[in-house]
Chains A and B, each alone.
Chain A
Amino acid sequence: MWRFLLTVIRRDLLLAARRKGDWLTSQFFFVMVVSMFPLGIGADPEQLRRVAGGVLWVAALLASLLSLQRLYADDHRDGSLEQMLLSPQPALILALGKAIAHWLIFGLPLLVIAPLLGLQFALPPDAIGTLVIALAIGTPVLSLLGGVGAALTLGLRGGGTLLTLLILPLYVPALIFGAGAVDGVLAGLGAEAQLSLLGAFMGLCLLLAPWVTGAALRVSVD
């Protein structure tokens, strides 16, 4: 089972390494969406600082949805997904491996980019630190929950838009706790409460999401 998990992760990472353009798109999307906000709302540092947490988190949600569209689509198209589901290994492990790989490809680079964008939004160092921690805890939620949506919308027309409709409302707790953590630090209240709740939500997603994703894959590929 562990070997299967590692194989799934290694396979996805290898595929991503061979096609850099694919996953870099969503990172650049993240940067661009965030950069649009100062242009739209003005460059007053005080104001930017106030909205930074929310803007970065919303952009992260949207960027994750963009990259999730292809999570299972390519494997579905060339038939390898069907083969993996036919194998005796549980679909749960496949879903978990896919989510971990997606996080490594999508979430991890985000943690590197986010501090730079935080600087652009005039965030103080402690708030940037909290932002990175919150993203580190929260982006796995995006990969896990998003996997459910990606599996449900597999091969449907307008899959991308549909994925957004299905999954964005489910992301709400991650958005609130994640952005709230940054705001908490800015307000001098500390971020432990938000980060703990975000961690609890992540734990719940880790327990349930791969299981549902596996069931959804079986439904969609059947």
Chain B
Amino acid sequence: MNLYHYAAPATFYRLAGRWTPWFAWGAGLLTGIGLYISFFVAPTDFQQGEAYRIIFIHVPAAWMSMFIYLVMAFWCAIGLAFNTRLSFLMARALAPTGALFCFLALWTGALWGKPMWGAWWVWDARLTSQLILLFLYVGIMALWAAIDDPKRGDRAGALLILVGAVNVPIIYFSVKWWNTLHQGSSINLTKAPSMATIMLVGMLVMAIAAWLYTIAVALVRVRGLILERERHTDWAQEAMKALKEA
């Protein structure tokens, strides 16, 4: 199999079209199973009661928000190194989903924090670094939005993402350190209470569902971006005609 063959926008457009339904249906199915486990199978937590169930959304969202940033950085590095247009489009297609998951993690975290800590927001190290990650996503998308020239936008965004990727661990540790200095040990998140296996299973199923959802949405978005970029070519115009008729 020649990978460069699939790096051509026209081939990848068709390939992505074939894959999307599989990932989308997989995501739907696993979300159903995961939600069933999290609401009906997983037992009520001894300490946290029913409110803990939000972690089935919260933890996968937080994982994905960080992981998507890394994947974007990976595609940007590939794009800058090998000059492949498709890589930049992948990064562009992933960013909105990453920002969405980031926001979702903060939102569900606030919903969980109110009954547990008695506050919607605490300047905890993880919350704060998650918030800064959201700012990074927003900055990247704002940069893309401001640059009309697609080639410049791709490369400028890629550079910013890579700078962010180097900086994210530093930000995380500085925030963590700032937090311990200022707050003492008011809340200790790192001491996770031992978790029932079924809770872990529910969380993992939801995490895989989030993965599949991300891939499906990114593929749909990248197909749109490919059509937009390749709108002058014959195959893209035919594809658009086919879309219009369908």
Contacts and interface: CB of A to CB of B under 8 A. Distances in A.
Interface of A: 145, 148, 152-153, 156-159, 162, 165-166, 168-170, 172-173, 176-177, 180, 183-184, 197, 201, 204, 208, 212, 215-216, 219-220, 222
A158 B147 CA distance: 11
Interface of B: 132, 135-136, 138-140, 142-143, 146-147, 151-152, 155-156, 159-160, 162-164, 166-167, 170-171, 174-175, 177-178, 181
Given A169-B171, A170-B164, A156 B135 contact: no
A78 B170 CA distance: 38
B73 to A, nearest CB: 13
Contacts, number: 78
A176 B140 CA distance: 23
B181 A170 contact: no
A116 B146 CA distance: 40
A215 to B, nearest CB: 6
Contact of B175 (A172, A184, A201, A219): A172
B152 A222 contact: yes
A219 B146 contact: no
A165 B138 contact: yes
Please classify the interface of chain B as helix (H, G, I), strand (E, B), loop, or mixed, using the class held by over half of its residues. Answer: helix
Contacts of A216: 156, 159
A176 B174 contact: yes
Given A156-B146, A172-B132, A222-B152, A165 B171 contact: no
Contact of B159 (A170, A184, A219): A219
Contacts of A183: 181
Contacts of B178: 176, 180
Given A148-B159, A173-B171, A180-B181, A220 B152 contact: yes
Given A169-B139, A201-B170, A220-B152, A152 B160 contact: yes
A145 B140 CA distance: 15
B151 to A, nearest CB: 8
Given A153-B143, A166-B143, 4 more contacts: A148-B160, A165-B138, A197-B174, A222-B152
25 contacts: A148-B159, A158-B146, A162-B143, A165-B135, A165-B138, A165-B142, A166-B140, A166-B143, A169-B132, A169-B164, A170-B163, A170-B164, A170-B167, A172-B132, A172-B171, A172-B174, A173-B170, A173-B174, A176-B177, A212-B159, A216-B156, A216-B159, A220-B152, A220-B156, A222-B152
